[in-house]
Amino acid sequence: MTRASHSQSCWPRASEEDSGFQSAIRSGASASEQSNQIWASSPRLEYVHDHESSQSSATSTAEHPLVPEIRQALRRVDDPEIRRPITDLGMVDDIDVDAEGRARVRVLLTVSGCPMRDTLQRDVTAAVGAVAGVTAVDVELGVMSDDQRVALRELLKGGQRDPEIPFARPDSLTQVIAVASGKGGVGKSSVTVNLARALAAPGRKVGILDADIYGHSVPAMLGIADARPTAVEDMIMPVPAHDLKVMSIGMLKPRRDQVVAWRGPILDRALTQMLADVYWGDLDFLLIDLPPGTGDVAISLGQKLPNAEVLVVTTPQAAASEVAERAGTMASMMNQHVIGVVENMSHLMVSCPDCGKVHTYDVFGTGGGTLVAQALSTRLGYTVSLLAQIPLDPQLRASGDSGVPLVEADPQQPAASVLKSLADQLVKRSVSLLGKQLGLAPAGR
């Protein structure tokens, strides 16, 4: 998917006319009002295709034998945003095949003028065209009625009407990992983004919630800095990027250059809504990029997601390790388990033009990660391991700037392979945790 298409969407935008966050996600009612306004003028099916259909589904006679095969083929076409088959979402309105094998498929968008219509049209044409016996494909794009849209929303919410944080439910199988650091600039967001991308690579479903009110650099690192979430009824759609579902506090600002100055209850409400009102779907992992330090967000998330676990990022510097340790201790005070420590910017490897060997420089000193891991183990009473040491790598910086995670852009880079093996460790761990949750092993950590 191109960068341009990330910032566009089939869903009505959540914050188009907003002066700030409050109206972007302030309440389900407002999002719903907004949706109703957008759709008020389109209560019935409206065709946005160039030619009008002359044949209604009501007049169809016996089903052509290719229709079930076409429907089966359409099960492989996902809505670009929700990433579920369009057949499951009620978006396939009609399928018709004539005597010559020419197929006509009518697909319903949620709103007319949808910029993702080209993607859908292309994917549907390809899927139907691949069915043996189909000689031509004609895709008509229509628009859902209000009732159809409400039904879709109910489907996505699984009949759940009240805001509820799905990840806080005892039966949730999503592993929530909050990435914390003592101070800014240690690479917490870079680790979050690359780790998420590495976790998502083999088809796992991974979301990122960027809760860093100061930095919110995750969207830029994924090439979606200008993307804004959109809403269907009172539900907000995360922005898809690099096989991840992304929601950022920064996306709720009308403009990139605005400062997020929320504190206390407003901030708390923002976090609740980013967890409860966003359609995350079934995730294997949700990574949360916390703000640096031990402030409001960490406390608030600790209360909302007591089963979340925490990964602490530090640099090798002694000064950084002291504050990182505080962040880990704080997580534990909120009853969150600390999974381990990641030391970033551990060393710089330089190929020597004279001797041809690779020299290693400890630019930020040594030992910070080990110190934090030891200190947390002593304080918390269980083993907190140093899970990874990521080298200083100009490519990691450059890939962040260009909006493509290094593990995707250049997986052979040393920093990328360390991040990949960090992801592997977390996956192994989560498999054994899942076993415990399912009662396959004794419970408890």
Q: Residue 206 or residue 342: which is nearer to ligand ADP going by CB?
A: 342
Separation of alpha carbons 79 and 108, rounded Å: 11
CA atoms within 13 A on the CB side of 68: 3
Q: With CB under 6 A as the contact rule, which of the stretches 186-194, 241-249, 274-282, 380-388 interacts with ligand ADP? A: 186-194
Token reading at 49: 């295709």
Amino acid identity at 60? S
Q: What is the dihedral of CA 23, 24, 25, 29, to 10 degrees?
A: 60
Beta strands 230-232 and 235-237 are antiparallel
Answer positive or negative: Cα dihedral of 390, 395, 401, 403.
Answer: negative
For residue 344, the minimal CB distance to ligand ADP (Å) is: 5
Token reading at 197: 């991308």
Site membership for ligand ADP, residue 390 (CB under 6 A)? yes
Site membership for ligand ADP, residue 112 (CB under 6 A)? no
Question: Among 133, 185, 265, 306, which residue interacts with ligand ADP (rule: CB under 6 A)?
Answer: 185
Amino acid identity at 123? D
Site membership for ligand ADP, residue 294 (CB under 6 A)? no
For residue 211, the minimal CB distance to ligand ADP (Å) is: 12
Phi and psi dihedrals of 181, rounded to 5? -150, 160
435: part of which helix (H) or strand (E)? helix 414-437
Which 412-431 positions form the footprint of ligand ADP (CB under 6 A)?
Answer: 415
Residue nearest to ligand ADP (CB): 187
Which 164-183 positions form the footprint of ligand ADP (CB under 6 A)?
Answer: 181
For residue 414, the minimal CB distance to ligand ADP (Å) is: 10
Question: Among 269, 379, 397, 429, which residue interacts with ligand ADP (rule: CB under 6 A)?
Answer: 397
Amino acid identity at 198? A
Site membership for ligand ADP, residue 189 (CB under 6 A)? yes
Site membership for ligand ADP, residue 400 (CB under 6 A)? yes
For residue 347, the minimal CB distance to ligand ADP (Å) is: 10
Q: Residue 87 or residue 395: which is nearer to ligand ADP going by CB?
A: 395
Question: Among 35, 119, 174, 190, which residue interacts with ligand ADP (rule: CB under 6 A)?
Answer: 190
Site membership for ligand ADP, residue 215 (CB under 6 A)? yes
Separation of alpha carbons 360 and 352, rounded Å: 10
CA atoms within 13 A on the CB side of 376: 35
Site membership for ligand ADP, residue 219 (CB under 6 A)? no
Question: Among 186, 239, 267, 274, which residue interacts with ligand ADP (rule: CB under 6 A)?
Answer: 186
Angle in degrees, CA 156, 1, 211, rounded to 5: 60
Q: What is the dihedral of CA 65, 71, 76, 82, to 10 degrees?
A: 170
Site membership for ligand ADP, residue 393 (CB under 6 A)? yes
CB 74 within 8 A of CB 92: yes
State the residues that interact with ligand ADP by CB under 6 A.
181, 184-190, 215, 217, 344-345, 390, 392-393, 396-397, 400, 415
